[in-house]
Amino acid sequence: MPHAQRTNDIFWNSLNPSMPALLTLYGQTLPGWSTQPDSQCSQGPVQGGGNAPSVFASQMYPILFHNCTGCHSVVGNANYAVGNVANTYNSLLTATAKNGTSKYIVPHDPVNSLLYHRITNDGPGASRMPLGGPNLAVTDTDIPPDGVFDASEINAWINAGAPGP
């Protein structure tokens, strides 16, 4: 297989979309999939061949994709859109909200992260997001569920500095 290294590099280093993240998401939909590392086929960290999916790609993006794309698949309702992994991450960290001052994600600061505020609050004049959808503060929408409420996962990710893909 003369081109195997090139194929390997393209797969493991892809960002638009992240093929390892998509493969992970697919695997998580299969019956009998377990979150326990010792039950995974790699028996631990993947050695060689590239990078494992980031926390954003493997945990945050699926939450956003499943709960937000109905209204936020294009910039319009907000100044960010849930598209591919890299663009979604970049817009969440760089776009200024329509109020002209707030950022959707402020690393290490969930209180000042508008996205976190909108999914955990019904503050004055603001509707809890996702509009008409599950309350992510008390719901685990992961497939399969991991037993951790989505808002708690997003809070932990922001507190960890909101690392990206």
Query: Above 90 in pLDDT, residue 78?
Result: no
Give every CB contact of residue 52 below 8 A, 6+ residues apart in sequence.
20, 45, 46
Query: What's at 149, amino acid-wise?
Result: F
CA–CA dist 146, 150 (Å, integer) = 10
Tens-place pLDDT, residues 99-142: 888 899 999 999 899 899 889 886 666 688 888 888 898 988 88
How high does pLDDT run on average in the chain?
A: 77
Q: Give pLDDT, residue 107.
A: 92
Query: What's at 13, amino acid-wise?
Result: N
The 10 Å CB-count burial string (b at 16+, else e) for 124-135 is eeeebbbeebee
Query: Above 70 in pLDDT, residue 37?
Result: no
| Residue 49 banded pLDDT, cuts 50, 70, 90 | very low
Query: Above 50 in pLDDT, residue 50?
Result: no
* Domain ranges, ordered by start, for the chain: 52-165
Tokens at 24, concatenated: 């992970």
Q: Give pLDDT, residue 123.
A: 60
Give the largest Cα separation in the chain, rounded: 62
| Residue 154 banded pLDDT, cuts 50, 70, 90 | very high
